[in-house]
Structure 1
Amino acid sequence: MTAAALTGQALAWDAEGPYSLQQTLGIIGRGPADKTIMVTPGTAWLAFNTPAGPATLGISQRGTELHARACGPGAEHALAGTPALLGAQDDWSHFDSPGFANSLPHRVQEARRRHPAVRLPATGRMVDALVPAILEQKVTALEARRSYGILLQKFGTKAPGVGTDPAIPADLRVAPTPRQWASIPSWAWHQAGVGPQRSATVMRVVGSASGLERLAKLPAAEAAVKMQSIPGIGVWTAAETTQRTHGDPDQVAVGDYHLAAYVGWALAGKAVDDPGMLELLEPWRGHRQRVVRMLQLSGFRKPSFGPRMTIQHHRRH
């Protein structure tokens, strides 16, 4: 891949092959209420905190070329991380090699053939990925994402450039800093629908923010193990985090209410539990998350049995 060319507050990177901005960055956002990222075909806007301060990052696609520009105190830092964000470190060559590809289920092979433009993004921002994942513990995704949207609106900040640069979406926001998360009063968590167990886990995470951010430099598997030393962070939360922070091609969200049954129906024609899912995916260890992504992109839907129920306990931590 061509190295990124950095000029002032702009950067250009050539993917040198099929590339989908929407499919690559879409995994980062946590539903429509997450106003820290907005992705449309060919264009993306992100706002986030950096060690130098907040930044707004705009990305546009022209063929295989991705062009980024940034503003705000953290602009330079944001641009430096843009190639990894776009998936420049993500290597599908072994997955796509004939020997490995031929070992994959036909459904996965077909999905990869139809979606060759997917990359796995690596944001490097641990707290930004951990907080919304924690909010999704033990509740439905719909509830959690509503809560996250409320908290972003109340305690996040307007993205740099909003109101002065007409190209930047007016509702783009920067998530709270660790200090700002820590200052949220208990009644505000309650109003947002976040119970004391999850808010306490967020408080522990933001209290360890400096150490957590260093985990972004470690291999994904090692980072996942180390973050689980924080009470309230388990296998599911760690996997949901490293998939976004590290572009983790392997860690699977064990403990997800739906995933094991979905993978079981897709690969074995029946529902399985977490150990059964891991057994099914074992032949492709090192690429298990890639396999899951391809299954999701294949359009496969597991059978539905009976009326839908309201799920109170959605995911373990």
Structure 2
Amino acid sequence: MPAMGVDRVMGTPPGYRLGWLARLLTFSAHDPCARFLDGSLWWAARTPEGPGTLWLRPAPGQLLASGHGPGGSWLVERADAVAGLRDRLDGFAALAASRPTLARLAGAVGTPRLPATGLVFQRLLRSVLEQKVTGTEAYRAYAATVRHFGEPAPGPVPLLLPPDPDAVASAGYWVFHRFGVEQRRADTLARAAAAAARLERCGDSSETTARLTAVDGIGRWTAAEVVRVVHGDADAVSVGDYHVKNTVSWALAGEPRGTDERMLELLAPFAGHRGRVCLLLEAAGLHAPRYGPRATIRSFHTY
């Protein structure tokens, strides 16, 4: 990797792990819009000032940031938020210590810090494509969509920019059908793209959630997946997820199966950090016992 100048130097707290951010800002190791390489994160985005790429890399007690492209300065200015350094962990250590399972996991894998990217549509694209399908299906659709609409991102790493919302909104359903996206998700994505400008103007998690769920096809699950990353909402819980309710019930109550209602009941003592608890369980690889066959991967794009 060529040597580059540093646009910003940020102090990091003890135990800070840039890899946590990579989990939340990349969609697999092959995300066309982001790469976690040699311990550093490259992340391409469409900013209010234009296309940009942010390069974050750790140094002892510090995090270094560089920006590329017209939007590079915007990304560098927001780099501490993107890197989770504005995230408030107040009270979480004491809450985790109250449950031996959480205390053990936090000690083993660290405490997740959440980014606050401030960019809604980039995350919304992924979240809509993840609705009601397997992770493999979602990634294939996401990667194909990005490559179809993609434009090269600024900087030395070969990344693509997320699709322009206007281009997505004007695309016909058949464009997404060949990526394995059925009409329900394709239509939801088109409506979300058409509303993108309004969504980007939302000032906080509550406003974003309200406007998102007003879009036909977007419910509580999708909204939580978005605001957790866009606004760093550590309390956002993915109600309606197929696995999370069981994972929480198993981890906190030893119950192999749960409901959304039971999940929220168990998470109530962790108010303010409920989503963080779910992320900790996920990052630690904890899951409820599995019964029956796994969900099958559908293939209908050639029909």
TM-score of the two chains, using structure 1 as the length reference: 0.87
State the match for 1:246 in structure 2. 231
CA separation of 1:209 and 1:9: change in aligned 2, threshold 3 A = farther
Q: Could you say what secondary structure the match of 1:91 adopts?
A: coil
Cα distance in 2 for partners of 1:124, 1:195 equals 29
Report whether the alignment pairs 1:58 with 2:55: yes
State the match for 1:5 in structure 2. none
**How many Å apart are 1:250 and its aligned residue?**
0.6
Structure 2 gap segments, 5+ residues each: 299-303
Match of 1:237 among 222, 229, 251: 222
Q: Could you say what secondary structure the match of 1:254 adopts?
A: coil
CA separation of 1:108 and 1:101: change in aligned 2, threshold 3 A = closer
Cα distance in 1 for partners of 2:96, 2:30 equals 37
Report whether the alignment pairs 1:203 with 2:190: yes
Instruction: For residues 89-145 of structure 1, give each alpha carbon's deviation from its aligned partner in whole angstroms, at most 9, with x where no partner exists.
Output: 10112112x4x3443x21111122233363111111100111110111122121111
Match of 2:276 among 290, 303, 309: 290
1:133–1:240 contact (8 Å) kept in structure 2: yes
State the match for 2:127 in structure 1. 133
Structure 1 gap segments, 5+ residues each: 1-7, 162-167, 313-317
Cα distance in 2 for partners of 1:227, 1:82 equals 25
Give the letter aligned to residue 91 of structure 1.
Answer: R
1:127–1:178 contact (8 Å) kept in structure 2: yes
CA separation of 1:25 and 1:210: change in aligned 2, threshold 3 A = same
Cα distance in 2 for partners of 1:308, 1:211 equals 38
2:246–2:287 contact (8 Å) kept in structure 1: no
State the match for 2:18 in structure 1. 21
Match of 2:169 among 179, 182, 190: 182
Q: Could you say what secondary structure the match of 2:9 adopts?
A: strand
Q: Could you say what secondary structure the match of 1:93 adopts?
A: coil
**How many Å apart are 1:196 and its aligned residue?**
1.4
Give the letter aligned to residue 208 of structure 1.
Answer: A
Q: What is the percentage of aligned positions where both structures have the same residue?
A: 37
Q: Could you say what secondary structure the match of 1:174 adopts?
A: coil
Aligned length: 293
Please identify runs of 4+ aligned residues in structure 1 that moved more than 4 A: none
Cα distance in 1 for partners of 2:285, 2:216 equals 36
Moved more, 129-138 or 35-44: 35-44
Q: Could you say what secondary structure the match of 2:56 adopts?
A: strand
State the match for 2:73 in structure 1. 76
**How many Å apart are 1:204 and its aligned residue?**
1.1
